[in-house]
Amino acid sequence: MGHMTFNDIKPYEDWFWKKNRIELKQEAVTEIRSCLGAELPRYGGTEVPSYCIVLGSGETIEADIVIFATGSVPAWYNWPGQYLPGVQSYVHRSDLDVLEANIQGASTAVVVGGGLIGVEAAEVLHSRGKHVTMLVRESGFYSNVFPAEESDFITKHIASYGIELKTTTELDQIVKGETNGRVDHVITSNGERIKADIVVLATGVKPNISLARDSGVATDRGILVNDRFETSRANIYAIGDCAQFSHGIQQLWYSARSHGEHVAKVVIQGAGPYSRGLYFNSAKFFDLEWQIYGVVPQDSNLGTSLFWKDARSERCLRICHDKGSVIGVHGIGVRLRQEVWTNWIEAGTHIDNAVSQLSKGLFDPEFTRGVLI
């Protein structure tokens, strides 16, 4: 939102890499190939390394082990005009630099997509004084994920900030201006023309697999791995957003972190299978915090869950159960204790017992009204 610089939010200080014996190279990798038969300088010993990593500069790095952590790339859908100046994604750090340039002189913005990235982009643009329109193809914000009550709750909250939410609406095309060649407006699936100096395409991401695929590593939607992160090629691993397990792809920040920790144990210690543990996630919808643990089905109802809503403020809580055993919980505007809910869900605690001990599962700050169910 312009309040902090990149130096304020870097995960590691610049001295971290050298201190921890990590050689950081800001280069693009263009090829990964076998080193067998290659005439290469030796860095000690005579054994030929497994792989040669070719960089954009022409330099070659030898490696016995390769770990792909190539993350995701934006998922765009070939809209006319999607590469016009002023049109961008909102996924990588470089996108922040692009946005900073795009907002100069802009007054209107269109955000395409009704997910977690889209609402964050809308909040950033709103904070910089831009009029924001969001195109959401579902009937309400996150209605393909949230039960109806929560979707309606969040949709109204976002709209209360002056965000123009257009539901059941998709992007048809992006149109450039007649004079400067930049984006001028968008045309929706309903035929409406909406003025836009900036268009943020927040329509999700897909695994970045091109380098792995070109290197002969088996891929599908992502880089195919087993439960030890091993790919189809010996001593090549994949972790994070780009890795595809038998159960699918885990595009979550905490998954990427735990993947890195576990693959290190696999490489160094020969560790066994990775256990993904109980699902959890968190986000913010403008001023409302959201947390989820376990499973909260989109079709949850009063027969499969307990739902509480604060009549005086924007807070709600839903505890889902299967024949009485708690299977998931999420809260909006209500903070939840991860350890407590994880234990209750994994133990199949009866919902009556969870409700009777509800205070143990909450940690809202002082002076906050309690959750009374």
**pTM for the complete prediction?**
0.90
What secondary structure does DSSP assign to 134-167, as a single string?
EEESSSSTTTTTS-HHHHHHHHHHHHTTT-EEEE
pLDDT in tens, 287-330: 999 999 999 999 999 999 999 998 777 899 999 999 999 999 99
pLDDT, tens digit, for every residue of 325-370? Answer: 999 999 999 999 999 999 999 999 999 999 999 999 998 777 677 7
**Coil, strand or helix at 110:** strand
Q: How far is CA 235 from CA 31, 51, 240, 300, in A?
A: 16, 9, 17, 44
Using CA atoms, how far apart are residues 95 and 99, in angstroms rounded to an integer?
Answer: 6
The strand ranges marked E within 177-252 are 183-188, 193-195, 198-201, 205-207, 223-224, 236-238, 243-245, 248-249
> 6-70+207-269 belongs to which CATH class?
alpha beta
The CATH 3.50.50.60 portion of the chain extends over 6-70+207-269, 74-205
**Closest Cα to residue 327, out of 339, 317, 342?**
342
CA-angle at 196, arms to 166 and 151, nearest 5°: 25
Contact 330, 149 (CB under 8 A): no
Q: Residue 43 has what pLDDT?
A: 42
Give the tens place of pLDDT for each residue, 144-153.
999 999 999 9
Nearest to 360 by CA among 369, 350, 368, 371: 371
**Residue 37: its pLDDT value, please?**
58
Residue located via tokens 């792989």 = 51
| DSSP code at position 49 | P
Encoding tokens for residue 215?
Answer: 């290197």
* 74-205 under CATH 1.20.1260.10, yes or no: no
**Residue 2: predicted pLDDT:** 80
Rounded Cα–Cα distance for residues 115 and 122 (Å): 11
Say which CATH topology domain 280-361 has.
Answer: Enolase-like; domain 1 (3.30.390)
